[in-house]
C-alpha cells in the first residue's frame, strides 16, 4: 500500500449526491484503471472515489493502431473503450476491487449502444460493491446513425430516465463538451432524474503526422484531455451550475490543488483527476492534501465553503 499523506479529513469529507467520501477528489474514468492499480503509489483510503474505466455490454479489444498522442499541454486518446465486458467485470474485477479497496467509494462508468442497453447495464450494476454509476452518454447511438447520445437533449433525457428506472444507485450523467449548448443538455438530464452531473468529457481533436501526411491516431480523431482543457471545463461547470440544482463533478485538466479550487468556486461539489494521473500517479491524494492546505490558509473550516463562491 502506498504511503498516507497528512491531511485534515474533517475539512475535506464530502457528500456528493448522497455518496459519502473522505475527500472531494476522485480518480477519473479511463485514467485510474479500476483503482487497485494505484495501490503501490497511494493509500486508497484517502481517495474520494474510484471511477472505473468504461464498461460495455460485451468485451472490447479497443481501437487498432496508435491510441495516444501527446499535444502541447495535453494528450489525445482513442483507446476505444477496451474493457472485459459487464459479465467478466462482475465476476472477476469487482470482487478484486472490493478485496483490495473495501473502504473506498467505487463508481462504475459505463456506456452502451442503445437506450435499452443502458437500462440493462444499469440493472446489472445494481449490486453490492457498486456505490454509484456514471453514465457515459458521449458514445454513438447505433440506432441514430452514430449520433452521440449526449448531443441531443431528448435522447440524453431518454437514456437518463431508462437508467434511473433500472437502478437504486445514485446516477451521475457524464456530459460531452462537443455540443453547442451544454446547459440545455444538463437541464434535460436533470429533469429526467439524474442525481448528479459530471463535466466535462474530452474534446474531439486530431493530430496529423507531417512526415507521412496521415493522421497519427489509428482512429483518426481522439479525445483531448490535459491542462489545455481546463479553462473550457471551468467555464462549462460555471454555466451549468447556475442552471441546475443537482451536484456537479468537475473535471478537465486538473493538475494542482489550485486547479481543483477553481472548479469548486465555479460550482462543482467534487472534482476528478484524469490525465495528470499518468504524470503523477499520486495526484489524487496530492490534490486533496493541497486543497486542505488552501482551506487552512484561508481560515476556512470545510471545503463546502468554496462551492459556487466565484464572484462573477
Is the whole model's pTM more than 0.95, yes or no?
A: yes
Higher pLDDT, 15 or 151: 15
Residue 48 has pLDDT above 70, yes or no: yes
Per the CB < 8 A criterion, the answer to whether 150 and 175 are in contact is yes
Within a domain: residue 2?
no
Total count of domains within the chain: 1
**pLDDT at residue 149 in the model:** 87
Domain of residue 51, CATH code:
3.20.20.70
The reported pLDDT for the residue numbered 143 is 58
Q: Is residue 181 part of a domain?
A: yes
Q: Tens digit of pLDDT for each residue in 133-144?
A: 999 998 764 555
Average pLDDT, the chain: 95
Q: What is the pLDDT of residues 282-299, one digit of tens each?
A: 999 999 999 999 999 999
- 241 inside domain: yes
Q: pLDDT at position 144, please?
A: 53
Residue at grid coordinates 495528470: 276
Q: Active-site residue numbers?
A: 139
Query: Does any domain span residue 248?
Result: yes
Q: Which of 131, 133, 149 is nearest to 141 (CA)?
A: 149
**Contact of 111 with 247, CB cutoff 8 Å:** no
pLDDT tens digits, one per residue of 78-105: 999 999 999 999 999 999 999 999 999 9
Q: State yes or no: pLDDT of 148 exceeds 90.
A: no
User: Which pLDDT value is given to residue 100?
Assistant: 95
> Which one, of 112, 131, 217, 115, lies nearest residue 172 by Cα?
131
Q: Distance between CA atoms of 255 and 276, rounded to whole angstroms?
A: 6
- pLDDT for the residue 312: 83
Structural domain contains residue 71: yes
Question: With 90 as the cut, is the pLDDT of residue 145 above it?
Answer: no
Residue at 1 is within a domain: no
Tens-place pLDDT, residues 228-242: 999 999 999 999 999
Asked whether the predicted pLDDT for residue 147 surpasses 80, the reply is: no
Could you tell me the three cell numbers for 27? 480518480
Q: What Å distances lie between residue 134 and 51, 94, 109, 170, 252, CA to CA?
A: 8, 16, 4, 9, 16
Whether 4 maps to a domain, the answer reads no
Using an 8 Å Cβ cutoff, are 185 and 164 in contact? Answer: no
Range of the structural domain that residue 291 is part of: 9-306
C-alpha cell at 263: 472548479
Cβ pair 50, 204 in contact under 8 A? no
Do 249 and 264 meet the contact criterion of CB atoms below 8 Å apart? no
DSSP string, the chain: -PPP----HHHH-EEETTEEESSSEEEPTTTSTTSGGGTTTS-GGG-SEEEPPPB-SS-B---SS--EEEETTEEEE-----B--HHHIIIIIHHHHHHH-TTS-EEEEE--SSHHHHHHHHHHT-STT--EEEEETTSB-TTTTT-BGGG-HHHHHHHHHHHHTT-SS-EEEEPPS-SS-HHHHHHHHHHTT-SEEEE--PEEEE-EETTTTEESSTTSEEEEESGGGHHHHHHHHHHHHHH-SS-EEEESS--SHHHHHHHHHHT-SEEEE-THHHH-TTHHHHHHHHHHHHHHHTT-S-GGGGTT----
282 within domain boundaries: yes
Amino acid at each position: 500500500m502506498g504511503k498516507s499523506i497528512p491531511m485534515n479529513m474533517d475539512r475535506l469529507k464530502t457528500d456528493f449526491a448522497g455518496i459519502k467520501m473522505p475527500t472531494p477528489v476522485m480518480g477519473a474514468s479511463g485514467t485510474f484503471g479500476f483503482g487497485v492499480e494505484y495501490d503501490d503509489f497511494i493509500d486508497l483510503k484517502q481517495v474520494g472515489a474510484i471511477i472505473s474505466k468504461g464498461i460495455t455490454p460485451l468485451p472490447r479489444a479497443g481501437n487498432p493502431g496508435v491510441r495516444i498522442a501527446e499535444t502541447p499541454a495535453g494528450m489525445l486518446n482513442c483507446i476505444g473503450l477496451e474493457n472485459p465486458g459487464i459479465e467478466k467485470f462482475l465476476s472477476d474485477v469487482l470482487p478484486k476491487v472490493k478485496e483490495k479497496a473495501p473502504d473506498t467509494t467505487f463508481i462504475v462508468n459505463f456506456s452502451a449502444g442503445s437506450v435499452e442497453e443502458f437500462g440493462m447495464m444499469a440493472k446489472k450494476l445494481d449490486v453490492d460493491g457498486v456505490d454509484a454509476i456514471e453514465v457515459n452518454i458521449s458514445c454513438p447511438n447505433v440506432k441514430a446513425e452514430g449520433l452521440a447520445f449526449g448531443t441531443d437533449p431528448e435522447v440524453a433525457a431518454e437514456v437518463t430516465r431508462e437508467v434511473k428506472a433500472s437502478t437504486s444507485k445514485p446516477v451521475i450523467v457524464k456530459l460531452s463538451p462537443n455540443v453547442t449548448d451544454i446547459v440545455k443538455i444538463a437541464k434535460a438530464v436533470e429533469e429526467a432524474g439524474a442525481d448528479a452531473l459530471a463535466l466535462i468529457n474530452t474534446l474531439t481533436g486530431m493530430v496529423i503526422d507531417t512526415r507521412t501526411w496521415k493522421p497519427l491516431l489509428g482512429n483518426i480523431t481522439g479525445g483531448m484531455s490535459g491542462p489545455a482543457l481546463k479553462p473550457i471545463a471551468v467555464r462549462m461547470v460555471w454555466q451549468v451550475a447556475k442552471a441546475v440544482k443537482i451536484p456537479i463533478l468537475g473535471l478537465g485538466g486538473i493538475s494542482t490543488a489550485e486547479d481543483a479550487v477553481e472548479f469548486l468556486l465555479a460550482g462543482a461539489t467534487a472534482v476528478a483527476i484524469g490525465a495528470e494521473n499518468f504524470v503523477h500517479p499520486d495526484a489524487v491524494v496530492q490534490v486533496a492534501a493541497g486543497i486542505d492546505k488552501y482551506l487552512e490558509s484561508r481560515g476556512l473550516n470545510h471545503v463546502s465553503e468554496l462551492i459556487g463562491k466565484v464572484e462573477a
